[in-house]
Structure 1
Amino acid sequence: MNLSVALHWRSLAVFGFDLAAVVAAWFGAFMLRFNFEGLGPYQPIVNYGALLLVPVEALIFRAAGLYRGIWVFASLPDLLRIGRAVGLSMVVIALGAVLLAPAPALPRSLLLIYPLLLVAIMGGGRAAYRVFKEHREFGALRGVGKPVLVLGAGREAMNLIQELRRSREWHVVGLLDDDPLKRHREVCGVRVLGAVGEIAECADALHVRHAIIAMPGANAERHRHVANLCVRAGVRVFILPAIEQLIAGHDTLSQMRSLDLEDLLGREPVEIDTPQVREMLAGRVAMVTGAGGSIGAELCRQIARFGPAQIIAFELNEFALYTLSEEFAEEFPEIGLVAIAGDVKDRRRVMEILERHAPAVVFHAAAYKHVPLMEEHNAWQAVRNNVLGTWILAQASAALGVERFVLVSTDKAVNPTNVMGASKRLAEIICQEMQRQSRRTRFEMVRFGNVLGSAGSVIPKFQAQIERGGPVTVTHPEITRYFMAIHEAAQLVLQAAAMGEGGEIFVLDMGQPVKVLDLARDMIRLSGKSEREVPIVFTGLRPGEKLFEEVLAHSERTRPTHHAKLRVARASLPDGFEMAEMLQWVRSGNTRSDDEVRRVLRRWVPEYAPYNPPKPFLVAAKVAREAC
């Protein structure tokens, strides 16, 4: 028997059941009305009424679409359809009683008893069949699988429990919810054991090592708090996405994901002025330097969302450029990505590309960014790449009429204590000076801190150390940094670029600073391990590294913008700044020593003060301090 024939016979069986329910409810209503003492003069009305009622109800049930659903998935929508059909049938019965005027007249109580019985039989039959089928198919799975706690006792938790019961992987042992009215209640037979804050106690008592956060309607701060409670309790966490991200038509279980560091940061999702950014990019050519790097590649992805005519990906690293090209060929085949190999310090190559493709917007993300590497043995290369490369690209952009030039800067440019930060501040100064000279090009700068998951960030390093079993190396127990997600940073760069008038230094809202030590501990816990298995050791601050990063220099002032996560810093040019003299030094073909680079940088960047870190701690002393 093929599927269509089987479904046809099942539909007929359901139809027959409903018609039998009509007869049972009709006779049952009269029996209840007369207390099961006999129908007397009403017997003919009952018999002939049933003969008339069955075909009428059959037409109504078919018209109401009662047989489009599948019994094993019977739910509230099916019950509502039954209610509407029975309600319509009561209107027909009432009209028939008036028009036909049977003698004796129909009891008025029948108009209440009959529909209640009919809904109970039809709805109850469907519910009983669903319970039978689920018990037969999934009943053996109950109590099978890893025990798990579900955090939240709302509708999403109910849907999740129902789906988990069909899985061999999980076994829900309890719910946690902060609503006191739900305490000790049950959802789908699972008890609410207590508040979310009691997860550590419940996990220990029930020997549970997994939890699922089912709070898609909660804000980012609430998610962060709950996620941290789980991580501190040593529980491996899974999470349901926000309500607006839940995909209609997909089961809840398939959209569950593991907790990550972004959840622990608890940052609200970025909302950008889409029409403003689209006006800047749609149908136009955008160029990204350093396009193979973490920030550059993400900028390309975000730009692709707005339908540019072309994206010019300018990158020195051949493999990174190839990887980006392959990704776009697969993920964004409709976007024309032009992969250009080149060095921003090569003026001829830069001019050639700008003339050939005429970009409207240039995002300059190419830079040497690793602080310790650029501090010793490579200081001169940092200056040439970050300063000379910026000037060549900026000067060419102004000469060829590029509308917007956006420098991707860093919080390390604020009161810099290292060569990398000072070179990026000098790049900002170049853009400020170019803005004073330029009539057509708008020069804008965007500062932000560390990006989660970027190639040079501490996150991949910690992940590799954890995979090896440790130790995880942290430079200092008090070191703090600002962190944000890479997609968030790229979106805000686009927003700043679209709203800039020229000469502004935009400062991204980086949220609250995070202790790197806490970050390391959270990553160890997220991996399912403990600090006993993966120890943490302190190595001392590295060359050019300071304990705390700043977002704004002391001499700077900021003003808000219409975007909550963007502010504008008004940074003045250094007194007596001579662009030509500075460029003569940077363009020199002679190699400069690290000490000479630091000495000359102090002249061009007055706020630059090389940082002398304290002596490294003895590991034993640091561990003792942490234990205290």
Structure 2
Amino acid sequence: MKRIWRTTQKHYKPALMLSYDLLMLSVAFMVAMTIRVNDLSPALEANMLICLALTLGSSSFIFLRLGLYRTVIRYMGSQAIVAVLQGVTASAVVLAVASYLTYAGVPRSVPIIYWCFALITVGGSRWLVRIYYQMALEIHKTRVAIYGAGTAGLQMYKALVHGEVYKPVAFFDDNASKQNTLIDGVLVYNPANILDVVAERDIAEVLLAMPGVPKRRRREITRGLRERGLVVKVIPGVEELVDGAGRIADISQIYENVLGRAPVEPEKALIAHSISGKVVLVTGAGGSIGSELCRQIAHWEPAHLIMVESSEYALYQIERELYQQQQDEGLQLKVTALLGDVRDRARMAEIIKSFSIDTIYHAAAYKHVPLVEQNVVLGADNNVLGTLSVLEAAEAYGVEQFVLISTDKAVRPTNVMGATKRFAELICQDFGRRFGRTRVCMVRFGNVLGSSGSVIPLFSDQINAGGPVTVTHPKVTRYFMTIPEAAQLVLQAGSMGRNGEVFVLDMGEPVRIYDLARRLIRIMGHTVRDEENPEGDIEIQISGLRPGEKLYEELLLGDNVSGTDHPMIMRAEEERLSSERLQLLVGELRDACGRHDCEAVHQLLQEAVKDYNPRQSLVDVVWTQQRECPVAPKVGQVERLPLPHDAGGQR
């Protein structure tokens, strides 16, 4: 039904516009005759009516051939204006020729007068609609300034003028020759006065459009503007977008639009206290959070940055990026990249001992809810026992600080991933209470925009593919933060943490995923296809909640919350298990993981995390396969196959 409606509407609009144009041409002819003969009711003979009919018929063919009804009026540019001018001129010529051929006796000045009024009615009406549409959009647009008045800035300006999100009201440029000039009526200002201009013009964001400038200079400009409290977004050039280097799915500036709040600014003194002059270890250094931690740590002059990662490719990528960052920004940074698995207790102890680590940021974890749900034993082994092995080595060799990167899914979890992270938190709480050499804390935050497997890259890929965008449930909500925010929170909490405390970010109100999808579709230049707009570009489909997923996430287990040295970071005191009980559960978990006993692991998670309330039974893939195929041969009972050089199984 929707397809029929869209098809009908597709042909309905051009037909309506053509009918309007023919009516206006008839009116233009009548007005021309009235002016010429000086009679409000000029008599039209049969020949004149035939002449008019021929003119209207020919004009219809001409207008269609010129593509007047393929042009979207709100995007009408100079080419469309030229097409209207050509069409009206051709129509006036046809009128003169038809009058001659039909002996209608139309005065020779009528086609000229007709041309003037036809141009006003046909072209002017389109121009008025375009102006009205743009004025309607202006009310809802975000006022922005473009930093860079070159080619890229002009291209960005033209794109934004026709868009539905931003309204450029000022340019800034370092080139003195461009300052105080006008670009399409918009003034180019000196960046030295940027704060005054932003306040005066009520500018919400600054878009940096300087793709030809070296990255180092762009970073300097961005850092300087952000230090003044401005929201800055780096926009790639058109060439970068075309060749894929700056795909919209990879552009970090869209995240702050989706976030719906201003980014949380860091307290620099807190970060410097934990990093400057220290030997810092980051586990999971190749992941979304781990790699961002490494990038930001590099700016705070650590004595040595140690990166541990189990993925060779991910480790290679972040090592190469940090090397390039040093070259671009002139940083003096000692970096060591090490392959290692946090579950390997001997390897972690060897690394911590050999490099005399001062601070550990433990970001290594399996985090994707459906995957961990299907791989219960490995999820528990990595997230729980991996955390324990790093903690034990940290305490044994006198590490000053240990910071666990946790998640809001650890609060009253409904999935295995959340339960394993809460179990890891319980271990950290116990270490923070029992030992004094290492200050242990946890940092808990919501979903990270742009991290691997998060909704923004997923939605962006779906939008770039033409849709549909899949949302699990129309009411599902999540807390969100940007990757830099998450990394800064971790770094700042490290200096404040002690005795197994949990830190959470004041993330404002949770965001409804369905609204997020609609907002992202609009930001990426498309419209939502729904019942109200059947001709929209991208459709949103409801796919249903995945295993272990819940509608709402929380950040706190209890109400015992206090402030910290940072106004946007809260400290939470939460319930703990006794050391004896916890050690018993950890021992049983280690044994169950060693046996690959999925049911035992799942049961232990429920015993350790009292608020763990799984929404469904076990869905571990291997465990399910074993239950469905009980006759499969067991380990140790596989028949020995003869070697290639064996003869009948004998040497």
Could you say if the C-alpha distance between residues 549 and 158 of structure 1 is closer, same or farther in structure 2, counting changes exceeding 3 Å? closer
Secondary structure of the residue aligned to 2:594 is coil
Hey, what does 1:473 align to over in structure 2? 470
Q: Which amino acid aligns with 1:279?
A: H
Counterpart CA distance in 1 for 2:201 and 2:574 is 35
Hey, what does 2:568 align to over in structure 1? 565
Could you say if the C-alpha distance between residues 274 and 264 of structure 1 is closer, same or farther in structure 2, counting changes exceeding 3 Å? same
For the pair 1:512 / 2:506, whether they are aligned, the reply is: no
Hey, what does 2:76 align to over in structure 1? none
Counterpart CA distance in 1 for 2:150 and 2:346 is 62
Which one of 542, 545, 550 corresponds to residue 546 of structure 1? 550
Counterpart CA distance in 1 for 2:293 and 2:233 is 32
Could you say if the C-alpha distance between residues 467 and 381 of structure 1 is closer, same or farther in structure 2, counting changes exceeding 3 Å? same
For the pair 1:332 / 2:326, whether they are aligned, the reply is: yes
Identity %: 43
Hey, what does 1:361 align to over in structure 2? 359
Q: Deviations over 1:544-586 (max 9, x none)?
A: 0000000111x35211112111101101213685232122122
Deviation at 1:169, TM superposition (A): 7.6
For the pair 1:528 / 2:528, whether they are aligned, the reply is: no
Q: Deviations over 1:367-392 (max 9, x none)?
A: 0001111112x011111100000011
Counterpart CA distance in 1 for 2:404 and 2:465 is 37
Counterpart CA distance in 1 for 2:430 and 2:262 is 35
Secondary structure of the residue aligned to 2:262 is coil
Deviation at 1:511, TM superposition (A): 1.9
2:256, 2:263 within 8 Å by CA — same for their partners in 1? no
Deviation at 1:488, TM superposition (A): 0.8
Q: Which amino acid aligns with 1:245?
A: L
Could you say if the C-alpha distance between residues 556 and 383 of structure 1 is closer, same or farther in structure 2, counting changes exceeding 3 Å? farther
Counterpart CA distance in 2 for 1:173 and 1:607 is 51
Secondary structure of the residue aligned to 1:563 is coil
Could you say if the C-alpha distance between residues 320 and 216 of structure 1 is closer, same or farther in structure 2, counting changes exceeding 3 Å? farther
Deviation at 1:161, TM superposition (A): 12
TM-score, length of structure 1 as denominator length: 0.60
Could you say if the C-alpha distance between residues 373 and 282 of structure 1 is closer, same or farther in structure 2, counting changes exceeding 3 Å? same
Deviation at 1:502, TM superposition (A): 3.0
Q: Deviations over 1:64-87 (max 9, x none)?
A: xxxxxxxxxxxxxxxxxxxxxxxx
Q: Which amino acid aligns with 2:574?
A: A
Hey, what does 1:315 align to over in structure 2? 309
Counterpart CA distance in 2 for 1:491 and 1:456 is 21
Could you say if the C-alpha distance between residues 575 and 349 of structure 1 is closer, same or farther in structure 2, counting changes exceeding 3 Å? closer
Deviation at 1:151, TM superposition (A): 6.7
Q: Which amino acid aligns with 1:360?
A: D
For the pair 1:584 / 2:581, whether they are aligned, the reply is: no
Could you say if the C-alpha distance between residues 269 and 173 of structure 1 is closer, same or farther in structure 2, counting changes exceeding 3 Å? closer
Could you say if the C-alpha distance between residues 606 and 320 of structure 1 is closer, same or farther in structure 2, counting changes exceeding 3 Å? same
Q: Deviations over 1:226-262 (max 9, x none)?
A: 99xxxxxxxxxxxxx99951899xxx99979986131
Counterpart CA distance in 1 for 2:291 and 2:605 is 30
Secondary structure of the residue aligned to 2:528 is coil
Q: Which amino acid aligns with 2:545?
A: L
Segment drifting more, 332-341 vs 412-421: 332-341
For the pair 1:574 / 2:554, whether they are aligned, the reply is: no
Counterpart CA distance in 2 for 1:609 and 1:455 is 26
Hey, what does 2:52 align to over in structure 1? none
Hey, what does 2:453 align to over in structure 1? 456
2:163, 2:525 within 8 Å by CA — same for their partners in 1? no
Could you say if the C-alpha distance between residues 159 and 383 of structure 1 is closer, same or farther in structure 2, counting changes exceeding 3 Å? closer
Counterpart CA distance in 2 for 1:338 and 1:309 is 11
Hey, what does 1:385 align to over in structure 2? 382
- Paired residue total: 418
Segment drifting more, 255-264 vs 336-345: 255-264
Counterpart CA distance in 2 for 1:166 and 1:289 is 41
Could you say if the C-alpha distance between residues 602 and 219 of structure 1 is closer, same or farther in structure 2, counting changes exceeding 3 Å? farther
Structure 1 unmatched runs, 5+: 1-142, 180-186, 193-213, 228-240, 614-628
2:274, 2:491 within 8 Å by CA — same for their partners in 1? no
Q: CA RMSD in A?
A: 4.1
Hey, what does 1:596 align to over in structure 2? 600
Hey, what does 2:612 align to over in structure 1? 608
1:447, 1:507 within 8 Å by CA — same for their partners in 2? yes
Which one of 291, 295, 298 corresponds to residue 297 of structure 1? 291
Deviation at 1:493, TM superposition (A): 0.9
For the pair 1:245 / 2:225, whether they are aligned, the reply is: yes
For the pair 1:265 / 2:259, whether they are aligned, the reply is: yes
Which one of 425, 432, 436 corresponds to residue 433 of structure 2? 436
TM-score, length of structure 2 as denominator length: 0.58
Segment drifting more, 418-427 vs 324-333: 324-333
Could you say if the C-alpha distance between residues 414 and 217 of structure 1 is closer, same or farther in structure 2, counting changes exceeding 3 Å? farther
1:380, 1:593 within 8 Å by CA — same for their partners in 2? yes
Deviation at 1:593, TM superposition (A): 4.7
Q: How does 1:52-71 map to 2 (within 5 A)?
A: none
Counterpart CA distance in 2 for 1:243 and 1:312 is 26
Q: Which amino acid aligns with 1:339?
A: A
